[in-house]
Amino acid sequence: MAGRNNGKIRQYRKPLNINLGIIIFSVIFIYIVICVFLYFTDKHIMGYEVKTGSLSVGNVYQGIALRQETIVMSTDSGYINYYAREGERVGSGKLVCSIDESGQLKELFDANKAEDTQLSDSDLSDIRSEITGYMNGFDRKQFSGVYDFKYSLEGTALKLANINVLQDLQSLNSSASSLITLCSAPVSGIVVYSTDGFEAVSADQITADMFDREKYEKKQLINNDLVAAGDTLYKLSTDENWSIVIQMDAERAQELLEEDYVQVRFLKNQFSSWAKVNVLNNADGNTYVKLDFNNSMITFCADRFIDIELVTKEEQGLKVPNSAIAEKEFFLIPKDYVTKGNNSENGVLKET
């Protein structure tokens, strides 16, 4: 019995049980691996909805607005208070602002004596129009426009507040007539509370560097600021005739000149107007097109840079994205080389 117990001991091997579940899981796993490999190695095709629209391209330009502008300077020193809203037309001799040497008017504003002012339906309509125009022309790359919009709304609110202060202006002026100076408009025009150095620039003086908005500097004139004699109070746009200068190549400019008049769409408010075309060859060697308007100046009186679209022979069609256009190399063979083959079909002979 002892001899029998000294025999070799072998480990029992379990039989390999391959069931249907393992086979299905393996097939699915291999399929997923193949799909992932093909996804990263294959060229993808993107779906795109083709819509019907205007086929005109390359007609959007950034222009510089030129107007007849008169800068009004201060003759005294003190705190300035405005009574006309920016973009409002004032007649010759009408009150625009006052210079307060004593600071009494500033104290009235600081005391919030005009806090009970209410907006009329007309005032609310003007504010809505300003907000809509700002939203349509908002550009994240030009954040300075936010401040221009802020000052514009402040000007509207200050005009309404100043109406109540004007009621006390007469009594203040009688007791200290030498300390408060009323400033009236020398000529009729549109009031603008900013300057940028383009007021005296003519169309033939425009250069390519002037279109760089990063170099553009605009000085905003703010209510209740302290001014000295000789400082700028405001400016007046005195003529409804104005111009927009854009830069383009000479060939395209000549095509517009032949049309004489061109329809222009302003991207800020989608308003359209007709302009007379003039071509300028300025001293910097570039070609410019001057578009002359006789309306809508008051809408853009505070804007120096205006984005426009030239509406010329607008055609409608399917707008296919440029990414869907395939580029392939091919040969152009003269038709004299075309001949009949053995199968009586047209073709060419290739020497090999």
Q: Residue 237's pLDDT is what?
A: 93
- 284 vs 244, which has greater pLDDT? 244
Helices 144-175 and 121-136, interaxial angle, to 10°?
150
In this structure, the number of other CB atoms found within 10 A of the CB of residue 336 comes to 6
pLDDT confidence tier of residue 108, bands split at 50, 70 and 90? low
Q: Judging by DSSP bridges, how do beta strands 95-100 and 219-220 pair with one another?
A: unpaired
Element housing 220 (H / E): strand 219-220
Which among 102, 107, 96 has a CA at the least distance from the CA of 74?
96
Residue 38 pLDDT greater than 50, yes or no = yes
- 17 vs 226, which has greater pLDDT? 226
Instruction: Please say whether the beta carbons of 275 and 256 come within 8 A.
Output: no
Helix (H, G, I), strand (E, B) or coil at 229: coil
Q: Residue 114's pLDDT is what?
A: 47
Q: What whole-number percentage of the chain has pLDDT above 70? A: 76
Instruction: Please say whether the beta carbons of 291 and 63 come within 8 A.
Output: yes
Structural tokens at position 253? 């400019």
pTM of the predicted protein model: 0.64
